Structures are given as C-alpha cells and as structure tokens.
Chain A
C-alpha cells in the first residue's frame, strides 16, 4: 500500500494528466453513448445571450423586420394548409373542407448559433420550454427539414441538426411511391445527405424529389428533404448508394419553425398498447 502511494506521488504529474483527460473524455463518451449533453443546461444561460448578440450583428438592420413579417405570414399560411388537418370520417362522405382537426402548429424561432464543420453539428434557437418546446419536436426551415429538438432550456433549445451522426429520418419519393430506407449524413459535405437501404430493384433516378414520409412520427408529411443527386450501384451490395442535395442550405439558415404535434400523446398511447398486446 505504501509502495502504491509512493508510486502515485512520484508520478503525480501523469496522474493529474490522466485525471483531467478522463474528465474531458467522459463528456464525449456521455454524449456518444448515453446521448446526454452536460454543457447545454449547466453553463449556457449567459453564453447563449452572448452568442445571440453576436449573431444579431450578422443580420442586416432593416432586413430583420422584413424577414420577421414574412415569417409570420408564412406561419399563418402553413397553419391553414390541409396537410395539418386530420379528418374524422363519421359519415359516408368525408368533408375535407371544414371537418378537420388541426394536427400541427408551428413556432417561429431565430437561430442563435449554428455549425456545419463538425461531425456532430447543432443549432441553438432562441425559444425554450417557456414557449412550449419539448425534447424530440421536429424543426424545419422555410425550404426543408432542419433537425430535431435535443435539449431545452427556459429560453433556448439545442437542435440536433440533419448534419449529425445521430440524425435519422424516413423519406418518401412520390415519383415512384417509395416509402422505405433512411436519411443520414456521412460527415463529409454539408450540402449532401445520404439515402440508405434502397433496394436495387427500385427505379430511382437523379432529380427525383425526396419528401418527409407520412409514416414519420415527428415530421409533417410532404416537407422537402432534397433532390436525388446521384445514384450509384455497388456490385457487392444489394442496395443503392444515393446522394441527396439537401433542400436547406445549412450555412445560411436564419429563421426556423419548430413543429408542435398536437396528437403526440395519442400516438404514444397507441404504440404503448401495441407493445403490451404483442409482448411475448
């Protein structure tokens, strides 16, 4: 025991190094394995405000007001669309004009911080749980999908960008009525995402639109993801290698919408019951 103490004392520098390294690496591991972030909630309240003021410089003075007005208008238009309604079929004829219940509502928010260079990129937005934002909600930009809410503060939220290794969503290609596979990002080019697990028998071709699927639990159906850029066949695999040009330009996002699904609770209850019945 005494020998051990002496060993520790003689190598105190190395021990300190290993201790500090352990502390910092454990944070990385905590993110990668347990999917929690330590820094966002504990130390970001003030820093977010600094970042917000830094981003404010970037926005041009008058354009800001104009943008805001346009955004509100877009918001109203979006909320009035038929896509967001759920129609209840009580009689023989479904009246698709007035019989609907509103499924999605949108919260507009401003980007405070954004990155595209890392393997795991995040976007910070200026709305938090005081505006009704919860973990797991979908986030879209005016031109396409943007990410999922990952952590929530009182006034800020951290959004898992599409440009993140943890991001997965399910696509739909209306041209061939295709609803399988998954969209991920391989960490190379911030303007390209990858469509995986598409069987070689499907007739894919470049230029087809890729939208969010109606099987997606989080995203409203029909939001643009991007366009197919290239379709490659590998002889060793039975799946295509597909690159998609993302509809959202992640280097230039300024305003985003957070999608609130009013029926999340009902969907969750259903899937819970499913597990209960079919559990062995």
Chain B
C-alpha cells in the first residue's frame, strides 16, 4: 500500500516535470496544446477512494497553475476529469470483471485497443474542452475552442501511448 503510494507519487512528479519543462516549452502551434500529465488519473486504481482521486486531481492542477500563468484552468479541467472518470467507472465499466482479470485500471489488453481508445479519448477531450473554454473565455471563439480541444486531444493521446509503451516495458 505504502509502496503503491510512493510509486504513484514518483509517476506524478515525472509527468509534471515532463509537462512543465518539456511539453510546455515546445512550440507546436497555437492549435496544438498536448497535456499528457492527465495520464496519472487514467492509471489510478479503481479501488482508490474517490475523494482522494478528486483531491489528487485538484492538487496536480493547482501545482501546474501556480507555476505557469494559467490561473485555475488546469485545476478546473483536472477536477472535471476526475469527477467524470469516477462516475464513468462506476456506472459504465464493469469494474469487477476488469479486476478479476488482474488489472487495476483499464488497459488495452482488457477488451482490445478500440475499447480503450474510446474511453481514453473521451476523458481527454473532456479535460481539453474545459481547458479551452476557460482559456478563450468568449462565446465568439467557439470554433477555436472546438478545433484546439480536438487537435490537442489527438496529440495528448499519442503522447500517452508513447509514455505507456516506454514506461510499461520495464
């Protein structure tokens, strides 16, 4: 239990460092803003207390907000993601069968890549659309909000796949 906590802390720090020092320093385009740090929430075990999940999400967002000049954008989108994830896990996924197969969180091995991709893309897009809405904060920027969140979702997903393959190899 303690070891797990340590492991997740290290992963969280690693993701935050990657996000802050590398991803935010690369200028892809104004349309593409990948945020792979949210991967931490996707790999938290189903058995974790949901209030703790919410707290971790808020704290991670708050850390990024206080370092960058983004006010509460990261925190708000992370909290939304956590809330949605907990509810989707509880109401839609079949947690018992996943846990019986020996997985703590949803992986591509459970029901194939397509199932995993839909679940992950949906959650990432939710995070990104909240972030873009708060970033642009204007009704007239609807097209930009949709475009930026859509493109960024694809790139975040690619980064997450890359991270998962590199980190999962041991």
Closest CB in chain A relative to B110 CB, distance in Å:
25
Chain B interfacial positions (CB closer than 8 Å to A): 21, 24, 27-28, 30, 33, 50-51, 54, 58, 61-62, 65-73, 75-76, 79-80, 82-83, 86, 134-138, 141, 144
Q: How far is the CA of A39 from the CA of B62 in the complex (A)?
A: 10
Contacts of B51 in A (CB 8 A): 13, 16
In the complex, the answer to whether B75 meets A187 with C-beta atoms within 8 Å is no
- Knowing A24-B61, A27-B65, A28-B137, say if A115 contacts B75 (CB, 8 Å): no
Q: Tell me whether chain A's interface is mostly helix, strand or loop, or mixed.
A: helix
What are the residues of chain B within 8 A of A188 when measuring CB–CB?
A: 30, 144
Contact B27 A117 (CB under 8 A): yes
Q: Please tell me if the beta carbons of B30 and A24 are within 8 angstroms of each other in the complex.
A: no
Cβ-defined contact, B135 with A21, below 8 A:
no
- A23–B75 Cα gap in the complex (Å)? 9
How far is the CB of B59 from the nearest CB of chain A, in Å? Answer: 10
How far does the alpha carbon of A149 sit from the alpha carbon of B166 in the complex, in Å?
43
Q: A20-B58, A189-B30, A190-B30 are in contact. Are A30 and B69 (CB under 8 A)?
A: no
Find out whether the CB atom of A47 lies under 8 angstroms from the CB atom of B75: no
**Is the Cβ of B54 less than 8 Å from the Cβ of A17?**
yes
Question: Which residues on B sit within 8 Å (CB–CB) of A119?
Answer: 135-137, 141
Q: Which of A21, A43, A187 contacts B136 (CB 8 A)?
A: A187
Q: Which of B21, B66, B67, B73 contacts A28 (CB 8 A)?
A: B73
A118 touches B135 (CB 8 A): yes
Shortest A48–chain B CB gap in Å is 10
List chain A residues, Cβ under 8 A from B61. 24
A28/B134 in contact, CB under 8 A:
yes
User: How far does the Cβ of A47 sit from chain B's closest Cβ, in whole Å?
Assistant: 5
Q: How many residues of A contact B (CB 8 A)?
A: 41
Considering only residues 32-61 of chain A, those with a C-beta below 8 Å from chain B are: 32, 37-40, 43-44, 47, 51, 54
A24: chain B residues at CB < 8 Å are 58, 61-62, 65, 71-73, 75-76, 79
How far apart are the CA atoms of A117 and B89 in the complex, in Å? Answer: 33
Closest to B137 in A: A32
Q: Can you list, as one digit per residue, whether each of A1-31 has a CB less than 8 Å from chain B (1) or not (0)?
A: 0000000000001101100110111111011
Determine how close the nearest CB of chain A comes to the CB of B87; give it in whole angstroms. 9
Which residues of chain B are within 8 angstroms of A190 by Cβ–Cβ distance? 27, 30
Cβ A118 vs Cβ B70 within 8 A: yes
**Chain A residues with CB under 8 A of B134:** 25, 28
Q: Nearest Cβ distance between residue A192 and chain B, in whole angstroms?
A: 11
Contacts of A44 in B (CB 8 A): 66
B67 touching A21 by the CB < 8 A rule?
no
Question: A21-B79, A251-B27 known; 19 other A-B pairs, CB under 8 Å?
Answer: A13-B54, A13-B86, A20-B58, A21-B80, A23-B75, A24-B73, A24-B76, A24-B79, A25-B72, A27-B75, A28-B73, A28-B137, A32-B137, A37-B71, A44-B66, A115-B69, A117-B27, A122-B69, A189-B30
Please tell me if the beta carbons of B83 and A17 are within 8 angstroms of each other in the complex: yes
Q: Select one of B30, B72, B138 contacting A27, CB under 8 A.
A: B72
Q: Which of B54, B62, B76, B83 contacts A25 (CB 8 A)?
A: B76
Which residues of the partner chain B approach A40 to less than 8 Å between Cβ atoms?
Answer: 69
- CB-CB under 8 A from A51, the residues of chain B are 67
Measured CA separation A189–B27 after assembly (Å): 12
Residues of chain B within 8 A of A109, CB atoms compared: none
A242 within 8 A of B: no
